[in-house]
Copies of this chain bind each other. A is one copy, B any other.
Amino acid sequence: MRWRRPGRRAADPGVVAPVLDELAGQAVAGAHRAIARLITLVEDERADVNAEVAAALTPHAGRARVIGLTGPPGVGKSTTTSALITALRAAGHRVGVLAIDPSSPFSGGALLGDRIRMTEHAVDDGVFIRSMATRGQLGGLAVATPQAVRVLDAAGFDVVLVETVGVGQSEVDVVRLADTTVVLLAPGMGDGIQAAKAGVLEIADVFVVNKADRDGAEVTVRDLEQMIAMSRRGIRGPSWRQPVVRTVAADGSGITDMLGALDRHASWLLDTGELERRRARRAAEEIQAIALRGLRAELGRLSGGDRLEELAREVAVGRTDSYAAAARLVDLLKRA
């Protein structure tokens, strides 16, 4: 495994298609260095490079199970991810992990410490772990994450885990687009969980109550079960009922149950045709995010000259308003 902080190496300005094809070929063959390099290129968000990478890798992608993991801070996401990796490896799967860094300037500290625990997989060639830090603004994560998943998928990892710290909506949106989304909770988190129930129920396919040996675990499980039962009123016919799994990730308890729940969900996805629907939905959201990103870049180029500055000054002194100014910018873009 190669564990690397993002952003160390910027994309070469002179990257050209033949080099990308070579890198893509090496990544598809499973070379960790090529995989790492491709993800760095992807993070750099150059549209032309990303288009080449997608074109080269899409024919090799679509085979991996994509599992999203999220939950509030303090529930033990990194420990659970690490235990899950161990279990998946024991079952013979190659595992790629994307750890989405929070974009808040206030939450940079804790994460690094958490990540370091994952070094237990550092000598395992069947595991590739990568932190991704994009600013998460205006769709950055929405574009970079599916592309990074595509790199790992095309590189032949059987399972791609996408873990987020779950602090912001954009991070949650990212895991929501997995084939299977796991929401981790822990006992004793009080009102936060109560308030979060509606939102959490929407995105979860599997609930995991970690630290299940602690006081209050049964209350958390019962609350979740009640919430799930309530949400299912009025549903007819077969549908997925979200299981609630108890784990103590620190000593590995319950991880086999978690793996079982994930496998049952994978079978359900296949059997019902839901997998295809989810992947089409994921593709639709990705296409829109890419298109928007491109339009944003065009807008930035248009605005790069004096035109935006001039409009902004007019707004600042009240000579025009910002909506009228924006309409003029959009007109310029369409005429360009």
Contact = CB atoms under 8 A, between A and B. Distances in A.
A200 interface: yes
A106 B287 contact: no
Interface stretch (A7-15, A165-173, A247-255): A165-173
Given A288-B329, A290-B326, A322-B287, A136 B168 contact: yes
Main secondary structure of the interface of A (DSSP, over half): helix
A230 interface: no
B109 A194 contact: yes
Contacts of A327: 51, 291, 294
A322 to B, nearest CB: 5
Given A135-B169, A168-B104, A290 B322 contact: yes
Interface string A125-149: 0000000000111110000001000
- Copies of this chain: 2
Given A280-B312, A329-B288, A104 B58 contact: no
Contacts of A61: 318
Nearest to A168: B168
Contact of A330 (B193, B276, B294, B299): B294
A220 to B, nearest CB: 14
A110 to B, nearest CB: 7
Interface in A256-301: 276, 279-284, 286-288, 290-292, 294-296, 299-300
